[in-house]
Amino acid sequence: MLEAIYGASCLAILAVMGLALLRAVLGPSAFDRLMAVNMFGTKTVLLISVFGFLTGRPDFLDIALIYALVNFLGTIAVLRFFEGRKTPACYDEPAEEQKE
């Protein structure tokens, strides 16, 4: 019975990842895409740990832990790139940026 619950929550997490990808595709601003990618990464952590329990392999939890670390760093790294810009998408005004 518990394997069925593991399977159901795996499917639910996959559905949430699909919705996050949908928002990543539709997202008007770059920050929507970044938020969707961050959410996708967190859901991957959950999917790996639940799938590890589904197949009875406890060593998946190490992968999930490492993925949680990497996902956080990735989001913060991309945010550092957006920090100074007025409008994130355009690249034609770097000259003014240095003048500030």
Contact residues toward other proteins (CB under 8 A) are 1-2, 5-6, 8-9, 12-13, 15-16, 18-20, 22-23, 26, 29, 31-32, 34-36, 38-39, 42-43, 45-46, 49-50, 53, 58, 61-62, 64-65, 68-69, 72, 75-76, 79, 82-83, 85-88
C-alpha distances out from residue 16 to 4, 21, 23, 47, 98, Å = 18, 9, 11, 11, 41
Please tell me the distance from the alpha carbon of residue 51 to that of residue 63, in angstroms, as a whole number.
12
**How far apart are CB 41 and other proteins at their closest, in Å?**
9
**Nearest distance in Å: CB 88, other proteins:** 5
Write the single-letter amino acid at 57.
R
How near is the Cβ of 97 to other proteins at its closest, in Å? 12
Nearer to other proteins, 83 or 92 (CB): 83
Q: Which residue has the tokens 């595709």?
A: 25
**Cα(78)–Cα(88) distance, integer angstroms:** 11
Distance of CA 55 to the CA centre of its chain: 24
User: What's the closest the beta carbon of residue 26 comes to other proteins, in angstroms?
Assistant: 8
